[in-house]
């Protein structure tokens, strides 16, 4: 099968995009080609199925959108690359847990293109960087413990998915150069005080388009069907 098709949506609202993903998934069949949708959303907080209202602190003028993805509340806005893989997992030959691992690997590989070392935190989907030195290659040791898993870390990418009839939608969001203030209006992904960063604030100067192209390429590689 050829590479997963890419579809660029540009800057768009979250509500019609979610509806389009649900429609695509509901009507796809065994011969429907997989796609990856790339976009940049207008400001919105999205709440996952596990989301608690108390984690939305002061939304202000930014709408809060309930969704059917996993996870808690996060923020989407200009300067953030959002990728929605629409993948038939049964045909691709891997299960949900491996799919999540592959999404995170694609994010890690994308950051590595700019010399940034991303990290996983057990039990907290997404990708994190060490604030003291985002370019250090050392693994997470020392102060990172179950009691304080985010000490010294900033979250740079979020992940939330939905699987229906073995087919995926929703996806990942990687922060490039955005207004980070709205993240202070929530407990990001349900964690009070979790710092959120983007490539710009850790010293990487690049464009939304360049990051989108690299992330799309990495997703095509990591999400390819088993040969």
Residues recognised as catalytic? 189
Measured in Å, how far apart are the chain's first and last C-alpha atoms?
9
Q: Which two tokens stand for residue 178?
A: 């955005």
d(CA 5, CA 23): 18
Locate the DSSP E strands across the chain.
5-12, 35-41, 44-47, 64-66, 73-76, 80-86, 119-121, 124-130, 153-164, 167-175
**Torsions phi, psi for 121 (to 5 deg):** -120, 120
DSSP letters for 168-212: EEEEEEEESS---GGGGGB-GGG-TT--B--TTTTT----HHHHH
């Amino acid at each position: 099968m050829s590479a997963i098709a890419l579809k660029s949506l540009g800057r768009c609202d979250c509500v019609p995009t979610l509806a389009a993903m649900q429609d695509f998934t509901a009507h796809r069949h065994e011969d429907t080609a997989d796609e990856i949708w790339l976009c940049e959303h207008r400001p919105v907080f999205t709440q996952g199925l596990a989301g608690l209202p108390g984690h939305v602190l002061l939304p202000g003028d930014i709408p809060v959108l309930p969704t059917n993805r996993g996870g808690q509340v996060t923020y989407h806005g200009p300067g953030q690359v959002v990728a929605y893989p629409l993948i038939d997992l049964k045909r691709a030959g891997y299960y949900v847990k491996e799919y999540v691992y592959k999404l995170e690997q694609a994010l890690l590989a994308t950051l590595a293109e700019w010399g940034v070392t991303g990290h996983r935190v057990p039990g907290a989907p997404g990708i994190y960087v060490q604030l003291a030195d985002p370019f250090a290659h050392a693994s997470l040791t020392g102060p990172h413990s179950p009691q304080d898993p985010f000490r010294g870390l900033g979250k740079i990418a979020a992940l939330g998915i939905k699987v229906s009839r073995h087919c995926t939608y929703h996806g990942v969001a990687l922060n490039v150069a955005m207004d980070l203030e709205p993240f202070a209006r929530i407990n990001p992904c349900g964690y009070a005080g979790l710092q959120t960063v983007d490539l710009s604030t850790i010293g990487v100067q690049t464009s939304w388009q360049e990051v989108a192209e690299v992330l799309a390429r990495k997703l095509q590689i990591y999400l390819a069907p088993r040969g």
